[in-house]
């Protein structure tokens, strides 16, 4: 139970749970350890879990027809990650979700989640709120892609998510921001020569 506290606490930020409810919720959680470069989601397989990062770093990405990678999301400590589409529709994933470091996760299985949403209706509210926030976040990202240049998006990311930028490889960052690694080098070069 003690190891599962991070998720219990996370949920408690959004809804008040009784001790019984916390214990009940805990029975649905399980700890998973993964090594660097290991996949927790792969295209073709239905995504079975929603994962909370206790320790480590992850990256969710798609490989397109030309073999190019496009990063959809990162997750470090206290973030969640999965192939959202695959999870909610329980259809084969299109994304890879890969550990960028040796990591520790707390996972919730899809079927279990459906079960406890029925048993603890309060958690519906939790789900609704965090989904709404993800949606608002995604909307901002889409707009940022439309309205800003590559360099502006880079600057924005560095200032908002310095910690993530430090920990993930640069090709991953470039593919998250929507441009090539070569161009990222160019940007960085421009900056260091300026200052």
Q: Name the segment binding a second copy (CB under 8 A); options: 4-12, 27-35, 46-54, 58-66.
A: 58-66
The interface partner of residue 142, options being a second copy, DNA, none and the CB cut-off 5 to 8 Å by kind, is a second copy
- Between the two ends of the chain, the Cα-to-Cα distance in Å is 51
Helix or strand run (H / E) with residue 143: helix 122-147
Nearest to 109 by CA among 82, 77, 138: 82
Q: Exposure string (b/e) for 133-164, b if CB count within 10 Å is 16 or more?
A: eeeeeeeebeeeeeeeebbebbeebeeebeeb
Nearest to 82 by CA among 132, 114, 125, 46: 46
- The CA–CA distances, whole Å, from 104 to 6, 41, 54, 136, 167 equal 12, 15, 5, 27, 16
CB of 96 to DNA, least distance (A): 13
Residue 104 interacts with DNA (CB under 7 A)?
no
Residue from 36, 115, 118, 133 binding DNA (CB under 7 A): 36
Measure the CA–CA gap between 143 and 162, rounded to whole angstroms.
21
Nearest to 36 by CA among 99, 106, 104, 105: 99
Contact flags string 54-83 toward DNA, x per CB under 7 A: ------------x-x---------------
**Closer residue to DNA in complex, CB, 102/127:** 102
Residue 170 interacts with DNA (CB under 7 A)?
yes
Helix or strand run (H / E) with residue 29: strand 29-34
Residue 171 interacts with a second copy (CB under 8 A)?
no
Contact flags string 115-134 toward a second copy, x per CB under 8 A: --x---x--xx-xx--xxxx
The interface partner of residue 70, options being a second copy, DNA, none and the CB cut-off 5 to 8 Å by kind, is a second copy
**Closer residue to a second copy in complex, CB, 54/98:** 98
Positions that interact with DNA (CB under 7 A):
36-37, 66, 68, 149-151, 169-171, 178-186, 188-189
Positions that interact with a second copy (CB under 8 A):
62, 64-65, 68, 70, 72, 84-85, 88-89, 94, 117, 121, 124-125, 127-128, 131-136, 138-143, 145-147, 178
């Amino acid at each position: 139970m003690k190891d599962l506290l991070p998720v219990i606490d996370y949920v408690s930020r959004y809804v008040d749970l009784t001790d019984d409810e916390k214990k009940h919720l805990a029975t649905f959680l399980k700890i998973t350890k993964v090594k660097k470069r290991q996949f927790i989601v792969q295209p073709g397989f239905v995504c079975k879990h929603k994962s909370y990062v206790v320790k480590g770093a992850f990256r969710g990405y798609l490989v397109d027809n030309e073999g190019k990678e496009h990063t959809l999301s990162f997750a470090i400590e206290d973030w969640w990650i999965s192939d959202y589409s695959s999870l909610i529709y329980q259809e084969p994933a299109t994304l890879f979700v890969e550990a960028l470091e040796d990591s520790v996760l707390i996972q919730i299985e899809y079927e279990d989640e459906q079960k406890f949403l029925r048993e603890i209706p309060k958690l519906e509210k939790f789900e609704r709120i965090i989904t709404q926030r993800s949606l608002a976040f995604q909307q901002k990202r889409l707009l940022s892609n439309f309205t800003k240049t590559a360099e502006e998006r880079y600057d924005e990311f560095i200032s908002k998510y310095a910690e993530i930028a430090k920990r993930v490889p640069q090709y991953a960052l470039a593919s998250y921001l929507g441009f090539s690694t070569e161009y990222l080098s160019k940007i960085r070069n421009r900056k260091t020569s300026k200052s």
